[in-house]
Amino acid sequence: MIQNIDTKTESFDRIKLPFFFEANKMFSEFEALKIEYFEYYNVIPLRSPAHLVDTSLPFPPPADDYADGSWTDWLDTNELKQSPYLMSVVDTFRKHTTVTLVRLLRLAPNSMVKEHTDPTLALEIEKSVIRLTIPVFKNDKVNFFLNNTVVPMQPGECWYLKLTDPHRIDNHGDTERVNLTIDMLPNEWVRKMIRDSQTSNG
């Protein structure tokens, strides 16, 4: 059963940022990368820990804290290197700050991601990264719930979400959902961008 949807916004747990990317170009490059079949959930890594991209590199030593990504070096994957438009989206942010993990996240038709929290993914968390979400493809029966209210994300838009709060995804449609997620260090440029967007959205 599809629940009634409340689109009210909690106190800035979601902020639409002043970027708009061409969803059709992202989707075209995604189509060239995707596997033909998957069950439930699939991840296409675009930027990953260096030792996973180049297996000749040693595994990094243990770290006291993994939240800010400094425990490893990060490299673009071959999938990103062969995707010039997706590369340009990533470059939009990494010319201003350090970008760590970048992925295309696929959720199968008629599937759900149960409510959960990501304890380190928020501006309020010291020495951590934040995650920006850019929808690439969705149907009208995909809903991303944050604090039990829908985030009205549309393909090509870019959103900061406070993912330390409870969130879940419902895909009641007959097509998969694809999001691009970009993790980055929240330096002063990032914080100002989010503050300014918060003010304009408010």
**pTM as predicted:** 0.92
Query: pLDDT value at position 139?
Result: 95
Q: Which of 139, 191, 189, 138 is nearest to 160 (CA)?
A: 191
| pLDDT band per the 50, 70, 90 thresholds, residue 1 | very low
Report pLDDT digits (tens) over 105-152: 999 999 999 999 999 999 999 899 999 999 999 999 999 999 999 999
Residues 6+ apart with CB under 8 A from 82: 32, 33
| pLDDT band per the 50, 70, 90 thresholds, residue 34 | confident
Task: Classify domain 23-57+67-201 at the CATH class level.
Answer: mainly beta
Q: Using only C-alpha atoms, what is the Rg of the chain?
A: 17
Report pLDDT digits (tens) over 63-75: 989 999 999 999 9
Considering the chain, what is the average pLDDT of its residues? 92
3-state secondary structure the chain: CCCCCCCCCCCCCEEEEEEECCHHHHHHHHHHHCCCCCCCEEEEEEEEEHHHHCCCCCCCCCCCCCCCCCCCCEEECHHHHCCHHHHHHHHHHHCCCCEEEEEEEEECCCEEEEEECCCCCCCCCCCCCEEEEEEEECCCCEEEEECCEEECCCCCEEEEECCCCCEEEEECCCCCEEEEEEEECCCHHHHHHHHHHHHHHC
